[in-house]
Structure 1
Amino acid sequence: MEAQFMSQEGKILAGFVAPHPPHLVYGENPPQNEPVSEGGWEVLRWAYEKVRASIEELKPDVLLVHSPHWITKVGHHFLGVRHLTGKSVDPVFPNLFRYNFDLQVDVVLAEACCAEAQAAGLVSQLMRNPNFRVDYGTITTLHMVRPQWDIPIVGISANNSPYMLRLDESVEQMERLGIATRDAIRKSGKRAVLLASNSFSHHHFRVEPDIPEDMSKEHPQNYRGYKWDVKVIEMMRQGKIRELMEIFPQWVEESYSETKAGSFPWMMAAMDYPSYAAQLHGYGTVIGTGNAVMEWRAAA
């Protein structure tokens, strides 16, 4: 391992639901992304401006992101290469997202998270390939949260267990991973922010409009998913996380929620199921999917 951990106890400063539709990067027209847009999805992009202000205020040492689109079938993987560069392309929307990334990984903390996960009985390992192409979910969330790319990150894969095991078994795995993540952060002495990179309702349209950024075409794909989005957001705003986790399987099944991949249970367990109110920065749809940008600010 590299440098020794700091002597003070680390802590989780905040957690964010930070969804990753690549359309948001496309709408922003950053220099790293090759396609050029005329805007679009402003409500969600403005919501991320509030997240950026929070990150600037919190000044974390590291950002940890769990992405549904880095899928690993065997175990939970952590980025384990200090410096990664390349081009991340959305396989469904390559016309919108071809992003040249350049990021720094906190390998020491990644190794500690992996070790804690292994100690908790989870199959876990480090990703050591220096030519690894980071997935668009990780890249989109990190860009929208901190476009300066000046804070080291820890990237965590989505183990495919929710689709191979019963949902309650996979949730239990993600909760153990969250606790392991919290323990590693505490021992590291670092100030960390967690990012759950997922949408909520995830039924989407099958045909893209001629002009993707035409917001007159944007609305919820179905009413049932939208109602679930409103219900769970209200529960989060009321601090009812433990109650929400009790109905988690129903939420996932009836709204096809992307939280099934584990990012949300991971973050909630790491934050010990916060009973204080989450702050909603914004809600909107992208190709019909429901996306909430939300913040849980831990007590000082």
Structure 2
Amino acid sequence: MNGKVAGAALVSHHPGLMQCEEFRVLQGAGADSDLIAGYARLRQKIADASPQVVVIFDSHWFTTGYHLVDGGERYSGTYISDEMPWYLHGVPYDYRGHPDLATLIEAVSRERGGYNRVIAHPDLGKQYATINLVKQLRLEQAGLPVVTVSSCQNCDWQHFLASGAAIGEAIRRSGLRAVLLASGALSHKFNPIDWKPNHPRIFHETNVSRPENIASDKQAIERFCQGRHDEVLAHWDEDYRRKPWEAFGAHYLQMVGAMGGADCSARGEPLSAYENARGTGNIHIWFDTEPHLRTRGAAGTSEFGFSTQQVGA
């Protein structure tokens, strides 16, 4: 039982950043977005953490009845999005799974009366919330095995925390060093199809759908920077659940559940600017889990301009 969460991140999987070449040329290959540069910063964080496995909480893999855990040996194919096939197609992928960890996650969950279950069907489709991270973070080239976890749509937020807690315990029992990636946005309200940008830079934060969503997202980011996951969870029902976050926050909730839930005090480090994507709020944030427990309340400012003053204490 010497395994550990060696690092974690909330990561945007913004589909505009993995377009086919025709659209990448037309739209500037993501030059308008700091999330592209942020992937490089995140790659370095992952390399420094030296993981043996990466767990991706996929906010696009919707399931009903169970939190499914992808337990195959290997995944390969060519990805096409059923959501946006006109520009998101022809993406080859070939990466390893980790069946032993997936099986252990189910075993721990069953011990606890939980709902995590393994699926290892060879024809199981993939979502770009996983594939984009595999490609942008170069997990294939690194040879890192990937275990993807679904977002169960008939769950409340406490169920996601419990799912994550079982995953965290399975990691500890496995003896593996794991990096957790919560793949998804914060506020997730799309702009209408005929919407006109507020700012000429399409990814600029003022193009996020609503001013109140921007304010809420930035408040969450400040709490992350302070390691105040307890405050985020305390305000979940009246704020973040109502905006709502992508997949109702399943990706974040399972990640933080694996790190201790409300007891987690891992501080966040923004690795990109906060940006718009079709009206949704996106950012990359790394959580350094090695010093896990820290003194809360120290003020400061991150590289990307977010105050780290304690919020809501």
- Pairwise same-fold verdict (TM > 0.5): yes
Partners of 1:111 and 1:259 lie apart in 2 by 24
Selected match of 2:265 from 275, 285, 293: 275
1:243 to 231, 237, 258: 231
- Structure 1 position 126 matched with structure 2 position 118: yes
Pair 1:297–1:94, CA change in 2 (3 A): same
Q: How far off its partner does 1:91 sit? A: 2.5
Distance 2:192 2:220 in 1: 25
Aligned with residue 51 of structure 1, among 42, 45, 54 = 42
Match of residue 143 from structure 1: 135
Could you list the runs of 5+ residues in structure 1 that have no partner in the other structure?
Answer: 1-7, 163-169
- Measured on the aligned residues, the alpha-carbon RMSD in Å equals 2.2
Letter in 1 for 2:232: L
- Read off the aligned partner of 2:40 and give its amino acid letter: E
1:182 paired residue number: 168
**TM-score of the aligned structures, taking structure 2 as reference length:** 0.82
Name segments (4+ residues, structure 1) moved above 6 Å. none
CA contact (8 A) 1:82 1:105 kept: yes
Alpha-carbon separation, structure 2, partners of 1:224 and 1:256: 11
CA distance 1:251–1:142, change in 2 (3 Å): farther
Match of 1:262, SS state, is helix
Match of 2:52 among 47, 58, 61: 61
TM-score normalised to the size of structure 1?
0.85
Secondary structure at the counterpart of residue 271 of structure 2: strand
Q: Percent identity?
A: 24
**Aligned residue-pair number:** 278
Say whether the 8 Å CA contact 1:63–1:194 is kept in structure 2: yes
Q: What residue is the counterpart of 1:5 in the other structure? A: none
Q: Kindly report which structure 2 residues correspond to 1:95-110, keeping only aligned pairs within 5 A, or say none.
A: 95-98=86-89, 99-110=91-102
Alpha-carbon distance in 2 for matches of 1:88, 1:252: 31
Matched position secondary structure for 2:2: coil
* Code of the aligned partner of 1:137: A
**Which amino acid in 2 is paired with 1:205?**
N
SS at 1:298 equivalent: coil
For residues 288-299 of structure 1, the aligned pairs below 5 Å read 288-299=279-290
Q: Which residue of 2 aligns with 1:159?
A: 152
Q: List aligned pairs for 1:70-109, cutoff 5 A.
A: 70-98=61-89, 99-109=91-101
**1:21 lines up with 2:9 in the alignment:** no
Mapped partners of 1:209, 1:57: distance in 2: 41
Separation in structure 2 between the aligned mates of residue 112 and residue 204 of structure 1, nearest angstrom? 37
CA separation of 1:116/1:255 partners in 2, compared to 1, >3 Å: closer, same or farther? Answer: same
Tell whether 2:182 aligns with 1:196. Answer: yes
State the shift of 1:249 in Å. 1.6
- More displaced stretch, 248-257 vs 46-55: 248-257
Query: How far is the alpha carbon of 1:192 from its aligned partner?
Result: 0.2
SS for the counterpart of 1:255 is coil
Counterpart of 2:191 in structure 1 is 205
* Structure 2 equivalent of residue 39 of structure 1: 29
1:43-80 deviations in Å (ceiling 9; x for gaps): 11111211011111112000001112111112111112
